[in-house]
Amino acid sequence: MMIKVGALLTFLLILVTASQAQQRPALITNIEGRHTMDLNGRWQTIIDQYETGYYDYRYQPSTDGYFKNAKPKSPSDLIEYDFDASEQLNVPGDWNSQDQRLLFYEGTVWYKKSFDYQKKDRTRLFVYFGAANYLADVYLNGQKLGRHEGGFTPFNFEITNLVREKDNFLIVKVDNKRRRDAVPTLNTDWWNYGGLTRDVNLVEVPDTFIEDYFLQLKKGSTNEIAGWVKLNGAAGSKVVTVEIPEANVKQTVTTDANGYAPVSFKARLNLWSPENPKLYSVKVSTDVDSVGDRIGFRSIETRGTDILLNGKPIFLRGICIHEESPLRGGRAFSKDDARMLLTWAKELGSNFVRLAHYPHNEHMTRLADEMGIMVWSEIPVYWTVLWDNPDTFVNAKNQLDENITRDKNKASVILWSVANETPVSEARLKFLRGLVDHARSLDPTRLLTAANERHYADPNTQLIDDPLGEYLDVLGCNEYVGWYDGLPEKADRLQWKINYNKPLIISEFGGDALFGNHGDKGVRWTEEYQKNLYEHQLAMLKKIPSLRGMTPWILTDFRSPRRPLPRIQDFYNRKGLISSRGERKQAFYTLQNFYRGLIKEGK
Ligand code: GCU
């Protein structure tokens, strides 16, 4: 009984702090469709491992920190930093791959960008960050705008009343130190790239502007669009027009006092699919604001163990991808990076990618829309986060919220994933159910999943019975038979038992191989071993009746601090099918042939 009361109190505490977090600044969506000025380029930076620019020597937050961008007023003045004389880094970009001294650096780096701005009447100004890893404290002209936690989702702050005509200085303290209570937590198998890793833009909008909108097909429909529009600004109640000229759609709605209005109307649409990635030009406008977008419309559902795209069963021929620029190294951030990664995935025969283990930049999902590649989008609730910590839950929920807010109009995104390889427990189940419920409340149109684990019912039977499966639409399962679990041939004798009548995606399998390292197929780290592993895996997996997709681990080798083996790993996870220099390994062609076979079968 006492335990039940304790658990209830914890959960209530989670809810309370969750509501407090709701006060986050509203997130503006579809920056590409807005009037923006980018602040990308060279930023002055100060490496501040001891956070001297933030805390005083008593480790109390200082009121006179580096965010003041102070300058000596007289020769006797004591100022111990000077942004304008400091080194520079590129934004967007992580600091680790730009400066060899910072490759392993985890701590604080201060960024400063100066800019002038021509103020306009009845115009508001926001500063928008595509992402900053991990904890960002943002200041303009010495004033604190706010803090954002989470390294892979966008955030913005209004600066209308703070910006001036000349010499504005925008200062961001970015801290990528890992913390036990954070999301992700201390331990991950990817490089902890720090910095202003994505585009930074000034966004100009009218006094009352179109903050956000949701326009997708109603669940289960292929001709009814349902959603909403949300205005931001004093004049809440306004007429909003939604136009899709190509589909002869011109709908007007009137918002309530909070600037919100539901939208629903019928339309004859050419549905989005990998074979036909049709995107419509959509315009949302009021008398003072107008936002243009390109949106695809498709329905995605499950029926028993089938996944239905536009009402037809599909098979997801996928691959996992980390957000790392293949040849340049470092965090991927540009449209070219995205195009290279997705083009390589297409070359494999993929119609689906799992963007692991965190939301990738918006260029990836926009390009997936254009290229007709379906997307599994995930937040970094990875391995063992602090399930009982209310702040950890709120943090994860915020990241989910920001991810869904940014990409909810992307036809390519079909699955929201709330976790990867998390240990079964009551607290974990409550935590992840909270995230699943939140995702469903924000987006009733997409499927919910997670990359879970399986265990052995007996030495030859792998069992999927994770209690979280109950609350998901699609089961994800990571397994490493042939690498961490026995040798590749073990797959030949294994059965699968799945306790849910739901579609299954094998969200990870694979093994390491160093490109160009050759030998007998029984020798680890050789291309022959990896190829052999894939052959036995694919033979095993295609026997699973409810298998509806797979995303082998992984498209390219990627940096990881957990992989020190000299002359083989050298701090790279070598499970890529493509090396970090873009070379295709033998297993690349094994999977490509397998996918070509499925395509021939119409899958
Ligand atoms: C895990 C994990 C990945 C990791 C991979 C590996 O399953 O989800 O992030 O890189 O296995 O060990 O290579």
Residue range 567-581: mean pLDDT, rounded: 98
Inter-residue contact 245 to 255 (CB < 8 Å) = no
What 3-state class would DSSP assign to 131? coil
Residue with CA nearest ligand 1 atom 10 = 189
Three-state DSSP at 127 gives: strand
Q: Whose CA is nearest to atom 2 of ligand 1?
A: 189
The DSSP code sequence of 145-190 is EEEEE-SSS-EEEE-TTT--SS-EEEEEEEE----TTSSS-S--SS
Mutating to test ligand 1, I would choose from 187, 189, 384, 453 the residue with most ligand atoms within 8 A of its C-beta, which is: 189
C-alpha to C-alpha distance for 397 and 430, rounded to whole angstroms: 13
Q: How many CB atoms lie within 10 A of CB 248?
A: 9
Residue 542 binned pLDDT confidence (cut-offs 50, 70, 90): very high
pLDDT single digits (tens) 434-450: 999 999 999 999 999 99
Q: Check residue 30 and give its pLDDT.
A: 98
Specify the ligand 1 atom closest to the Cα of 356. Answer: 9
Query: What is the Cα–Cα distance from 319 to 333, expressed in whole angstroms?
Result: 19
* Predicted confidence (pLDDT) per residue in 129-176, tens digit: 999 999 999 999 999 999 999 999 999 999 999 999 999 999 999 999
Cβ-contact 551, 353 below 8 angstroms: yes
Average pLDDT over residues 182-210: 98
Among 20-34, 154-168, 199-213, 312-326, the range scoring the smallest mean pLDDT is 20-34
Tokens matching residue 469: 């499966």
DSSP string across 395-409: HHHHHHHHHHHHHTT
Confidence of residue 14 (pLDDT cuts 50, 70, 90): very low
The answer, yes or no, to whether residue 12 has pLDDT greater than 60, is no
Q: Which residue's CA is the nearest one to ligand 1's atom 12?
A: 189
Contact yes or no for 411/437 (Cβ under 8 A): no
Burial 285-309 (b: 16+ CB within 10 A, else e): bbebbbbebbbbbbbbbbeebebbb
Q: Is the pLDDT of residue 13 over 90?
A: no
Based on DSSP, count helices (H) and strands (E) in the chain, helices before strands. Answer: 7, 33
Flag whether pLDDT at 116 surpasses 80: yes
| Residue 283 burial class via C-beta count within 10 angstroms: exposed 0-12, middle 13-18, buried 19 and up | middle
Question: DSSP assignment of 391-458, as one string?
Answer: HHHHHHHHHHHHHHHHHTT-TTEEEEEEEESPPP-HHHHHHHHHHHHHHHHH-TTSEEEEEE--EEEE
63 CA distance to ligand 1 centroid (A)? 43
> What is the DSSP code (8-state) at residue 556?
B
Q: How far apart are CA 517 and CA 469, in angstroms?
A: 40
| 3-state SS track over 275-332 | CCCCCEEEEEECCCCEEEEEECCCCEEEECCEEEECCEECCEEEEEEECECCCCCCEC
- C-alpha distances (whole Å) from 302 to each of 165, 172, 394, 415, 447 are 54, 44, 29, 11, 8
What distance in Å separates the CA atoms of residue 512 and residue 530, rounded to the nearest whole number? 6
How high is the pLDDT of residue 23? 56
Distance of CA 540 from the midpoint of ligand 1 (Å) = 20
The mean predicted confidence, pLDDT, of the chain is 96
Give the tens place of pLDDT for each residue, 48-61: 999 999 999 999 99
Q: What is the mean pLDDT of residues 530-541?
A: 98
Query: Which of 189, 54, 181 is closest to 109 using CA atoms?
Result: 54
Q: Which residue has the higher pLDDT, 15 or 380?
A: 380
> Would you say residue 7 has pLDDT above 80?
no
What distance in angstroms lies between residue 16's CA and the mean position of ligand 1's atoms? 34
Amino acid at 104: F
Beta bridge mates, 114: 169
Taking residues 282-299, what's their average pLDDT? 98
Taking only the tens place, the pLDDT of each residue in 40-88 is 999 999 999 999 999 999 999 999 999 999 999 999 999 999 999 999 9
The predicted structure's pLDDT at residue 5: 59
Query: Residues 504-514: pLDDT tens digits?
Result: 999 999 999 99
For tokens 């960008």, what's the residue?
A: 113
Q: Whose CA is nearest to atom 4 of ligand 1?
A: 189
| Ligand 1 cavity residues, CB under 6 Å | 189, 357, 420-421, 478, 508, 553, 573, 575
Query: Which atom number of ligand 1 is nearest to the Cα of residue 478?
Result: 7
17 falls in which pLDDT band (50, 70, 90)? very low
Rounded to whole angstroms, how far apart are CA atoms 114 and 82? 13
Rounded distance between C-alpha atoms, residue 216 and residue 409, angstroms: 6
Between the CA of 344 and the centroid of ligand 1 the distance, in Å, is: 21
Q: Are 418 and 435 in contact (CB under 8 A)?
A: yes
Rounded to whole angstroms, how far apart are CA atoms 465 and 448? Answer: 17
Closest CA to 548 of 497, 598, 481, 491: 598
Mean pLDDT on 258-266: 97
The residue whose CA is least distant from atom 9 of ligand 1 is: 189
Higher local confidence (pLDDT), 235 or 19: 235
pLDDT surpassing 70 at residue 4: no
Find the 328 Cα to ligand 1 centroid distance in Å.
22
Cα 321 to middle of ligand 1, angstroms: 12
Up-side HSE of residue 550: CA atoms within 13 Å toward CB?
A: 26
CA contacts within 13 A on the Cβ side of 545: 8
Please tell me the distance from the alpha carbon of residue 353 to that of residue 333, in angstroms, as a whole number: 17
Residue 20 has pLDDT above 70, yes or no: no
Q: How far is the CA of 572 from the centre of ligand 1 (A)?
A: 12
The CA dihedral of 509, 510, 511, 515, to the nearest 10 degrees, is -160
297 φ/ψ angles, rounded to the nearest 5 degrees: -120, 125
Percent of the chain with pLDDT over 70: 96
Residue 405 CA to ligand 1 centre (angstroms): 27
Task: For ligand 1, pick from 506, 530, 573 the residue to mutate: most ligand atoms within 8 Å of CB.
Answer: 573
- Compute the average pLDDT of residues 579-597: 98
Q: How far is CA 458 from CA 486, 544, 591, in A?
A: 15, 17, 29
For residue 189, the CA-to-ligand 1 centroid distance in Å is: 6
Using the atom order of ligand 1, give the atom closest to the CA of residue 510.
Answer: 13
Q: Report how far residue 459's alpha carbon sits from residue 56's, in angstroms, rounded to the nearest whole number.
A: 59
Instruction: Spell out the residues 6+ positions from residue 84 whose beta carbon is closer than 8 angstroms to its own.
Output: 44
Cα 492–Cα 476–Cα 553 angle in degrees, nearest 5? 65
Which of these ranges, 9-23, 258-272, 296-310, has the smallest mean pLDDT? 9-23
The string over 557-576, giving b where at least 16 C-beta atoms fall within 10 Å of a residue's C-beta and e elsewhere, is bbbbeebeeeeebeebbbbb
Apex 383 CA angle, 382 and 388, nearest 5: 90
Measured in angstroms, how far is the CA atom of residue 75 from the centroid of ligand 1? 56
Q: Report the b/e string of 340-373 with b at 16+ CB within 10 A.
A: bbbebbbebbbbbbbbbbbbbbbbbbbbbbebbb
Average the pLDDT over 199-203 and give the result.
98
Q: Is the pLDDT of residue 361 over 50?
A: yes
Is the pLDDT at 18 greater than 60? The verdict is: no
Q: Is 331 left (phi over 0), alpha (psi -120 to 50) or beta?
A: beta
**Is the confidence at residue 549, as pLDDT, over 70?**
yes
> Where does the pLDDT of residue 237 fall: very low under 50, low under 70, confident under 90, or very high at 90 and above?
confident
d(CA 95, CA 515): 27
Q: Ligand 1, closest atom to CA 421?
A: 8
In whole angstroms, what is the distance from residue 119 CA to residue 122 CA?
A: 9
Residue type, 567: R
